Chain A
Amino acid sequence: MSNTIIKINNLRCEVEGQEILKGLNLDVKKGEIHAIMGPNGSGKSTLSSVLAGKEEYEVTSGTVDFLGNDLLELSPEERSWEGLFLAFQYPVEIPGVSNVNFLRTALNERNKFLEKDQISAKDFLAMVKEKAALVGLNNKLKNRSVNEGFSGGEKKRNEIFQMAMLEPKLSILDETDSGLDIDALKIVSDGVNQLKSEKTATIVITHYQRLLDYIVPDFVHVLSDGKIIKSGDKSLALELEEKGYDWLKSDI
């Protein structure tokens, strides 16, 4: 069995006729944490949207292998069922849709796809209780409509709560740290660290080194203008913190 979770090869994509990702390569193996850093507008969220299957992003070339599947051929829900999870930079509010009920629907649709049993109400509630505690999600928020009236920090916690519920093989956290105060940041990072295992991997997108004090990456990549222009270990993040991104840009 291969140890690779995701292999992105020369990925190019366009939105509204404008090329955003310009030949991106990335390999993530089981047990690894990768950080992707880069200036605003460099294409970090575009990469996560493309991986999650958002339609408006048109892939013009390249391949993505996800656990032996051609990821780009799968619908967004199939990607989730295969074990991909994206914590959105800007989680949407969905009035009238219950925060926990929809998760039960999601879990059951996944189990059906995987030919597993449906989850019982009792097991589900026990799981909700356990995972909500893990990220310190307020009890009241569980039963409200998805993200409706949540503060910025509550929305981010809710993302990690859902991640914990879905137990993905690859989690992509898109700027989960932005808008979090230091206490919330610790709780969210603790949650991510506890969910970490030898069989799963995480891609952490951020433009602050701060988060990486709590979620320690094995690899750090710099994304600029749609390409990874430099990779290294966690010391690269510290270097970026000190010098900014410009020194790298002038390298190329």
Chain B
Amino acid sequence: MEKEVLKSFKNLTPSSIFLSKSENKLESLIKIGFPNRNSENWKYTKLSKLFKSNFNDPKSPSLKVYPKSKLPSTSTSTIVVENGKINTHLTCLDNIDGLEVALFSESGIELASKIDHTVSNYEDAFTYLNGYLLNEGINIKVKKHIKISQPLHIVNVVTKSCVAVNSRLNIELEECAELTVLQSFISENSSSSFVNHVTEAHISENANLHIDKLQDYQNNYNIVSEYINQKSNSSFTINTFSYSGLLIRNGLNIDVNGQNCHTELNGVFTVSENDYIDNHTLVNHLEPNCQSHENYKGIIEDEGIGVFNGKVIVHKDAQKIQAYQNNNNILLSDYSKVFAKPELEIFADDVKCSHGSTTGQLDEEALFYLQSRGVGLGTAQKLLLEGFIAEIADKISCEKFKEYVLGKLI
């Protein structure tokens, strides 16, 4: 059984990081096994290729220069994680009052009580795998009442082919703390590698976390599992921009565990060639008087496949919830596909919820209009696609990040 489950990962060394409790994770993984086509949440996800691979342990960081052309040129504190480990040469972290950054490998028991709280509400095979094989984890803590004005950029780069990288980010915001994280997942001279990442965030009362996330993993596999826990009066926003990857899957799980919370999930996925990009989101409204807003836009061309599955659960006593969900997709070729499923499960009676999804082509009338004014066809298409994602790009906190994201559209 164990052998069968771990077939693709048999060459990999279990994590020696104390915090990741690798033995327990393996046990849990073997107990539930990996999802397959019969697992409701994974039925479109083409995992077969991933499981046919035979991954190796990642190599130590070796990049000497910052991969500028693949990243937004932010002039902000940057942590570079290369093949799962910190690249100390490229990491540049300002000393900021109230911000603490620690590595799992260098932390002891005191951090153990802070992690896995939200993760353990969910049983997820890839998250267990991540714990079993963890290369390194970063813990970021912002202390009470500290508002970090400068965004923190965390670059996760894979620079080796056919390796499996298991990385983790833990964010802890104390009361009234504020933080913006830019997260870039990219590859450099790598193909057929697998980056399996887990983010867990705990947002205390009145705290505010904003994440802008970029994924550009041409010819590689990437699964990101995110577990967010919000306390009352807190705010959480995540904007996910996914550009390429043999398989990209984002599993975003948010427990809204307090009143008067604001939760916002936005995303853009552009899928081309034979790529597959999948966004699964779950917002769990456990307490009353909260708002959540979700908006994802897909642009699919060639033989790409996009998936959007957004689920909102409003629990029994969570009255006066406002939950809005929207998904729009544009198919640019006859062979591109999208599977869209917005879902609402409401167990409270006094709520305002809406959800909707549309899939269509680029508006021919609008294209002709722009062309007739002298905008060339290619530029007109780009303008329309930019217009299509504009309301989401406008949510990006950092201007450089936004420029980069818009520049990557076709």
Q: Which residues of A contact B (CB under 8 A)?
A: 52-55, 75-77, 79-81, 85-86, 88, 91-92, 94-97, 102-103, 105-107, 109-110, 145-146, 162, 166
Contact = CB atoms under 8 A, between A and B. Distances in A.
Interface stretch (B62-70, B207-215, B386-394): B386-394
Counting chain B residues whose Cβ lies within 8 A of the other chain, the interface size class is: 20 to 34
A162 B390 contact: no
B371 interface: yes
A107 to B, nearest CB: 7
Contact of B366 (A77, A79, A94, A162): A94
Given A88-B369, A91-B369, A109-B379, A81 B374 contact: yes
Nearest to B390: A96
Interface string B333-376: 00000000000000000000000000000010110111111111
Given A92-B365, A94-B366, A106 B374 contact: yes
A162 B369 CA distance: 12
A106 B387 contact: no
Interface of B: 363, 365-366, 368-377, 379-380, 383-384, 386-391
Contacts of A103: 373
B372 A76 contact: yes
Residue among B372, B379, B389 with the highest chain A CB neighbour number at 10 A: B372
A106 B373 contact: yes
27 contacts: A53-B371, A53-B372, A76-B371, A76-B372, A77-B371, A77-B374, A77-B377, A80-B371, A80-B373, A80-B374, A86-B372, A91-B369, A94-B363, A94-B370, A94-B384, A96-B387, A96-B390, A97-B366, A102-B373, A105-B375, A106-B370, A106-B375, A109-B376, A109-B379, A145-B387, A166-B373, A166-B374
A96 B373 contact: no
Nearest to B394: A96
A69 B270 CA distance: 39
A109 B368 CA distance: 16
B373 A162 contact: yes
Contacts of B374: 77, 80-81, 106-107, 109-110, 166
B371 A96 contact: no
Contacts of A86: 372
Contacts of A109: 374-376, 379
A95 B207 CA distance: 34
A96 B388 contact: yes
Contacts of B369: 88, 91-92, 94, 146
Contacts of B372: 52-53, 76-77, 79-80, 85-86
A105 B375 CA distance: 7
A151 to B, nearest CB: 18
Contacts of B379: 105, 109
A144 to B, nearest CB: 12
Residue among B366, B388, B391 with the highest chain A CB neighbour number at 10 A: B366
A53 B377 CA distance: 13
A162 B383 CA distance: 17
Contact of A96 (B376, B377, B380, B391): B391
Contacts of B387: 94-97, 145
A67 B371 CA distance: 20
A75 B391 contact: no
Given A77-B375, A109-B375, A102 B386 contact: no
B366 A92 contact: yes
A75 B377 CA distance: 9
A101 B314 CA distance: 42
A54 B368 contact: yes
Contacts of A55: 368
Nearest to B393: A96
Given A96-B388, A109-B379, 18 more contacts: A52-B368, A53-B372, A55-B368, A76-B368, A76-B371, A76-B372, A77-B371, A77-B380, A80-B371, A80-B374, A86-B372, A94-B370, A96-B391, A97-B370, A97-B383, A102-B375, A105-B379, A109-B375
Nearest to B380: A77
CB-based closest 10 A-B pairs: A96-B387, A96-B390, A80-B374, A76-B371, A106-B374, A97-B387, A77-B371, A110-B374, A94-B366, A106-B373
